[in-house]
Structure 1
C-alpha cells in the first residue's frame, strides 16, 4: 500500500487522507550505519545495508538507491574528489578546452566506471525490498554538461549555441542510458535531477534542457514506470517549463513557496514533492522540524503531494 500510495502521488493522483513520505537520504544512509561516505559509495554491500536500514528506520514510502550526481561524469573519466561526509564532486572538466571528438568521451554503460557497484547494490536491495518504491536518480543534461564543460556551458547556451547543443545532445544520450540502467535495476520511480537548471532563463531551459530529457523519458514511460524532474534553488522563472517537460511530476527545494508549487502542479495535473527545510530545519534546527512538517503538510494537501526534504 505504501508503494502504491507514493506512485499515485508522483502521478498527480489523490492519496485519500494520507501523504506519502520520501527522505532523500543519500549519504545520510552511510551516517546511519556508521560508515564514511567515500567508503559507502564504493561498496555495494554497504549501499544496500544503508538503504534497507534507512527505509526501515524512517518508515519510508520510497527511497533513492543513491543520491549522487557524479556517477555519470566519473564513469566517463571525469576527475573527482572524494569526501568522507558528502558525495564526491567533479573537479576536472574534459570539455573545458577540448571538443567531444578530441576528448573521445563514450556513453557509459552498466559495465563502466562506478555503475557496476550501483547495479550490484540494487540487486541486493531488491532482494529485501519492503512495501516501498526504489528510486533511481540520475544527473540531468544541463548539470552533466556543467560537469563536462565547466561553467563555460552557461555562456555557451547564449553565445555559442552550436557547441552547447552538441554537448547537450551527447548528455541527453547519457541520460537515456542512465534511465535504461535504472529501469533494468527494477526502480519503480526514475528521476532526472538537474539542480543547475534553475540558473537559466525559461527560454534557455526550453531550448537546452527540455529536448535533451525526451529520450530518457521515452525509456521510462515505455517501461510503464514513473518519472519525475528534480530541480534546486529558486526555480520560479523556469517552473512552467519544468511542468511542460513531460514528467509525471517534479520536486523542488526549500527556496520555493509550497502554495505556489501546489497550485502550479494542480494546474498541470502533476505530482510534486518537498518542502521540508533541509537547511534551516533538518540541518541547523533553527526551525522546529515538527512545525515545519505541519506547515508543509497543510500547504501540500492530499492530491499529488509527497512530503520530502526541500
Structure 2
C-alpha cells in the first residue's frame, strides 16, 4: 500500500512499481457480507466495507463509492436500488422539460445520500491513512449525468438540437463542479470525473460537449491541491487523444482498449493512465486467467505513469 506512489503515477511520473487500485464499488458490500442497497445508505457499513476491501486487496487507493446515481438521486430523480448491484436511474425529467421547468437545483451536502458519504469518509479516511491507501472520490461526468437527466435523447440532441444540449450540459457542469468540491471537503486524495458514455460520441462532439463542461470541476480539484483523473468506458479510441488533453493529471480506461496504444498516447501528453485488468473476461467469467491477464497488463503498462486496475 503506497498512496504517494499512486498519486505520482496518476500525475504521469515514474514510480518504483505500478500502484494498484481495485474499483470495488458494491463489491465492498459483498466483502462484509451486506446487501448493496443497505450498504450504500449506511455510513458505518460503507466505511467498514471500503476499509476492509482496501485491507483485503492491499490497495494503494480505493473509491469511497463507485455509484453514478448519487448526483441524480440528490436532485430528486427516481432511483431503483438492488441488493447485488449499483442503483439505476429510473426517471429522466429533462427528456421533455427544461432545467427550469423541471425545477432542478444544484444539490449540496445536505441532499440525497451526500450526508451518508460525508459521514462515511469521516470514518474511513483516518483508517485508510493508516493503511497508506488513498481515498478516491468519483463524480458523475457531465455527459453521463446529462443522459441520466434527459435520457438517451441527449445523444441526438448533441447533433440535432445543440442549443438544448448545451443548456443541459451547462447545468450538469455546475452539478459536477459542486460534486468535486464536496469530495474535496471530504478530504479525498484523488478525485475522478467518471464519464463512461463519453466514448459513444464523435471526437468533435466530445470536444464540444464534454471537454468544456469539465473545466470548472478540474480547476476546483487542482486549486484544492488534489489529484485529478478522468474515467471513460467502452471503445474510446476515437476520443482518447481528447481525453489526454482534457486537463486532468491522468485518465483510466476499460478492457476494450489496447493498453500499449493507451500507454503511448498517455506518455505523449505526459499524463498518467490506468487499467486494464479484464473485468469480464478474466475477473467475472474466468475465460482468461486473471493471473496471466495481470502479467500482460503490468508488462504493457510499465512503471511510468501507470496504475494497475480493472478495466
Instruction: Give TM-score scaled by structure 2 length.
Output: 0.99
* 1:187-246 deviations in Å (ceiling 9; x for gaps): 010000000000000000000000000010010000111000000000000001101100
Report how far residue 80 of structure 1 moved.
Answer: 1.3
C-alpha separation in 1, matches of 2:24 and 2:78? 25
Q: Report what 1:115 is aligned to.
A: 114
Q: Report what 1:276 is aligned to.
A: 277
What SS is found at the alignment partner of 2:184?
A: helix
C-alpha separation in 2, matches of 1:126 and 1:277? 29
Q: Report what 1:182 is aligned to.
A: 183
What SS is found at the alignment partner of 1:262?
A: helix
C-alpha separation in 2, matches of 1:247 and 1:48? 27
C-alpha separation in 2, matches of 1:77 and 1:85? 23
1:290 equivalenced with 2:291 (yes/no): yes
Q: Report what 1:27 is aligned to.
A: 26
**Alpha carbon RMSD of aligned pairs, Å?**
0.7
Unaligned runs of 5+ in 2: none
C-alpha separation in 2, matches of 1:106 and 1:76? 7
Q: Report what 2:45 is aligned to.
A: 46
C-alpha separation in 2, matches of 1:127 and 1:254? 32
C-alpha separation in 1, matches of 2:59 and 2:101? 46
Report how far residue 177 of structure 1 moved.
Answer: 0.2
Q: Report what 2:57 is aligned to.
A: 58
Q: Report what 2:3 is aligned to.
A: 3
* 1:40-89 deviations in Å (ceiling 9; x for gaps): 00000000000010011000100000000000001001111110110100
Report how far residue 127 of structure 1 moved.
Answer: 2.8
What SS is found at the alignment partner of 1:110?
A: coil
* 1:239-280 deviations in Å (ceiling 9; x for gaps): 011011000000000000000000000100010000000000
Instruction: Give TM-score scaled by structure 1 length.
Output: 0.99
C-alpha separation in 2, matches of 1:68 and 1:247? 20
Q: Report what 1:163 is aligned to.
A: 164
What SS is found at the alignment partner of 1:41?
A: helix
